[in-house]
Structure 1
Amino acid sequence: MIGVFAATERGRRDAADLAGLLGADAVVPDGPVRPALHRLWPRLGSAVLFADAGSAVRLIAPLLRDKQSDPGVVCVDDEFVVALAGDADALARHVADVLNRTPVVTTGPSGDTVLDELLEQLDATVDGDIGACAAAIAAGEVVVLRNPLGFPLPALPDNVVPAGEVPSWMIVIDDRAAPQREHTLRIVPRTLVVGVGSTRGVSAQAVAGALEELDVEGGLDLRAVKAFATADAKADEPGIVNAVEEWGFWHSDTAELLTFSTDVLGEVGVPNPSSVVRNSMGTASVAEAAALHGATTLCRGGRIELAAEKYKRDNVTVAAARILPRGRLALVGLGPGAAEQRTPLAESELRRAAFVVGPTDAIDEIRHLLRPGTEIRESGAVALAEAGAAVALVELGTGPAMDNPVEADVVVIPGVWTP
């Protein structure tokens, strides 16, 4: 819901006119502004205040909590529309366009940016000065984005481009190791499942040393590990268990240790089977087979590949499989109830989509929520998602349904019914 608030008679007329242009989501509360704003605040997705910036700040200051949960707030005066709080830049631009005023947006390196959202969406760590890179994007400088594995991304600012002659910054989204370079931001998604095999009694240091081979010889960034995997018989091997815990300590994270029976591992095709391992374990591979089967277990029907064949060092064998990214299709219902009953998850999916597909009446309900640069289409959602894009398919009511399998990650965000 968009609340449009005004204290003066002229402001209330302007608020009513704006609400009519913003669509069915917009409401103009009756009565004094302060109690109405306090009453509606928990239900607001956005708020427009016809007031000068100082007055608007005093009104909202007691209500603010954090940028993730606060509604986007803008204030309107005779010349400007100012983004004051929350995620309000897109709303400020939209209201300014409707009212023929100048938008003043405030996203900067100190607040959450598209880069912060990327880290969360990709389950990633970052290497580099994210604040300085965000500042370059906000300043309109050319920033080159490299995405060699093809992760589905949201709409990005026009100055973030796939190629540029003299970029101020470069963003690389990859799970492979690379030296840190000046003015380069590396985003490292957690895509790897590392298989581990060993003899009995190996030390955690020996396992950690073997893992380093995945970086030095295999060219993989160990911050990209999503899980470790081994045979059931190695589930209580102290060297492996302790090495996994140490990885979590050094990376300030946790990774599950998956275990599989030798019967299961024996069915996994690997490039480097070993008769010695078969004779001792009952399966021709532990490290490669566990990595591949672990990745298959976690990929939710997607594709995997062997990212690093096995390395052996000090009686420890390691290998890594990669969960390959694929497109994302969010089926978003806008609900038959009022706009304030729409879930935050639905609005989050709309913002992470590069394409929003749906009928005009549904698009009009949520246009103000979309990130600048989001492409709007009437059809073709499945094809776009299967091609690797991040897509939201929207409908009024409980939401769209898919009768046939889709080669993409599909999430369902149902409509919210009126109680």
Structure 2
Amino acid sequence: MHKAIITLTKGGLQLGLKLHGEMADSVLYVHRKFEIEGRGIQKIHGPMKEFVGEIFHQYQCLIFIMAAGIVVRTIAPHIQDKKWDPAVIVLDEKGKNVISLLSGHMGRANGYTLEIAQLLGANPVITTASDVNEKIAVDTLAMALDCSIENFRDATRVTAHIVNGERVGMISHIPVEVALPENMVLIDEEQAVQEKFAGLIYITEKRIDPKIAWDYVVLRPKNIILGIGCKRGKSKEEIMDAILDTLHALGVAEASIKHIATVDVKKDEPGLLEAAQALGVPLVSVAREALKAVEDEFEGSDFVRKSIGVGSVCEPAAFLTSSGGIWLQRKTIHNGITIAVLREGGNPYGNHCGRHQL
């Protein structure tokens, strides 16, 4: 369940039941005085602040049907950071207004607010400056493109330029199929130096060190797949050294790693598991039968074939767990560890972005 609907009054209960009936991924929490049962309906026990503290990070979205002041006082002790706080939405008992209160962008509260308002025929209340001015915030752009933000302070500065209507350039190595306001323009590296901008947005897996006077922010797409094979017993430190050396040589940022791919017999290899955990990415295993079906297309090893029944691991594992792309590095050996690096998508140095206006 992704959403929690919380209500304390009889009027709120009726609206809560309506929302709960329309939202299959919701749990409805009601005051313990109400004699009501049903699937996904639970009672609130104990003081409200303690209850909210218990569920605050259990759900992606908290929907309160009560006064906004009560909600503010209740959630205040539990707010930590917009990068992981849940969306918080407030509705009045009559369902006239739906208010995006917390985590409008990163938590998708603004999006949830619009969905609920449409569902109820209500008035959506959204106060974030970028939305009010029909602009796009950097964090919203990052979410739309499935990118991570390298530095949130940089993102705040560049978003301020966008909201203020100042000219912001965007250099992207992935397609950008998002509506952009008039003051955001897609450019190349040469324009970034020759023309004047209030801020720049880089969307790339490449490590960069721009020599510019403007504020800038870097967004990291998850488009790098590491195919890895290794001898049994390789430690996390050895595997991490091989990965980091490889990425450094290629000029690729760790934040753009989508996953590590390997053969099924290595899915429980401690060093690989620990390396994936350290990088915060999944370890994806591929069945040997699947690798055998394509191994003739890749460089193989008789020794590996005798050991595990298939002659090639790193390249076919990366290939089979991707949606297609280009090789940044073919099979390379690092002290008993083989690594191949595949970049999903097309030419990383072209500007593939289409221009869309609001």
Give how far 1:234 is off: 0.9
Letter of the structure 1 residue corresponding to residue 155 of structure 2: I
Cα 1:64/1:268, change in 2 over 3 Å: closer
Distance 2:238 2:251 in 1: 19
Give how far 1:247 is off: 1.3
Correspondent of 2:126 among 63, 85, 94: 85
- Match of residue 239 from structure 2: 207
SS at match of 2:218: strand
Correspondent of 2:101 among 65, 72, 80: 65
1:266 maps to 2:292: yes
Letter of the structure 2 residue corresponding to residue 85 of structure 1: I
Give how far 1:156 is off: 1.0
Letter of the structure 2 residue corresponding to residue 65 of structure 1: L
Correspondent of 1:153 among 169, 172, 177: 177
- Match of residue 170 from structure 1: 200
Equivalent residue runs for 1:236-275 within 5 Å: 236-248=268-280, 255-268=281-294, 270-275=297-302
SS at match of 2:206: coil
1:319 maps to 2:331: no
- Match of residue 283 from structure 1: 310
SS at match of 1:266: helix
- Match of residue 223 from structure 2: 191
Q: Which runs of 5+ in 1 are unaligned?
A: 1-35, 45-62, 73-82, 93-104, 108-112, 249-254, 326-352, 356-372, 375-419
Give how far 1:307 is off: 3.2
Letter of the structure 2 residue corresponding to residue 204 of structure 1: K
Tell me, yes or no, if the aligned pair for 1:133 and 1:185 is still in contact at 8 Å.
Answer: yes
CA RMSD after TM alignment: 3.3
SS at match of 1:179: coil
Tell me, yes or no, if the aligned pair for 2:221 and 2:256 is still in contact at 8 Å.
Answer: yes
Correspondent of 1:122 among 116, 122, 145: 145
The superposition leaves residues 365-395 of structure 1 with CA deviations (integer Å, 9 ceiling, x where unpaired) of xxxxxxxx33xxxxxxxxxxxxxxxxxxxxx
Letter of the structure 1 residue corresponding to residue 140 of structure 2: E
Letter of the structure 1 residue corresponding to residue 228 of structure 2: V
Letter of the structure 2 residue corresponding to residue 161 of structure 1: V
Distance 1:180 1:207 in 2: 30
Tell me, yes or no, if the aligned pair for 1:177 and 1:215 is still in contact at 8 Å.
Answer: no
Q: Which runs of 5+ in 2 are unaligned?
A: 1-90, 105-109, 116-123, 347-353
Distance 1:283 1:218 in 2: 28
Give how far 1:126 is off: 1.4
Equivalent residue runs for 1:355-370 within 5 Å: none
Distance 1:132 1:225 in 2: 26
Cα 1:268/1:135, change in 2 over 3 Å: same
Give how far 1:64 is off: 5.4
Distance 1:89 1:223 in 2: 26
The superposition leaves residues 232-255 of structure 1 with CA deviations (integer Å, 9 ceiling, x where unpaired) of 11111111111111112xxxxxx2
Residue identity (%) = 23
Give how far 1:293 is off: 0.9
SS at match of 1:185: strand
SS at match of 2:307: helix
The superposition leaves residues 173-226 of structure 1 with CA deviations (integer Å, 9 ceiling, x where unpaired) of 112232366633111111122111111111100000111133112232221112
Tell me, yes or no, if the aligned pair for 1:142 and 1:160 is still in contact at 8 Å.
Answer: yes
Distance 1:242 1:89 in 2: 40
- Match of residue 50 from structure 1: none
TM-score by length of 2: 0.57
Equivalent residue runs for 1:292-311 within 5 Å: 292-295=319-322, 299=323, 303-311=324-332
Tell me, yes or no, if the aligned pair for 1:114 and 1:156 is still in contact at 8 Å.
Answer: no
- Match of residue 163 from structure 2: 138
Letter of the structure 2 residue corresponding to residue 306 of structure 1: W
Equivalent residue runs for 1:355-394 within 5 Å: 373-374=357-358
Tell me, yes or no, if the aligned pair for 2:144 and 2:178 is still in contact at 8 Å.
Answer: no
Equivalent residue runs for 1:335-414 within 5 Å: 373-374=357-358
Tell me, yes or no, if the aligned pair for 1:292 and 1:305 is still in contact at 8 Å.
Answer: no
Tell me, yes or no, if the aligned pair for 2:298 and 2:312 is still in contact at 8 Å.
Answer: no
Equivalent residue runs for 1:94-109 within 5 Å: 105=133
Letter of the structure 1 residue corresponding to residue 159 of structure 2: A
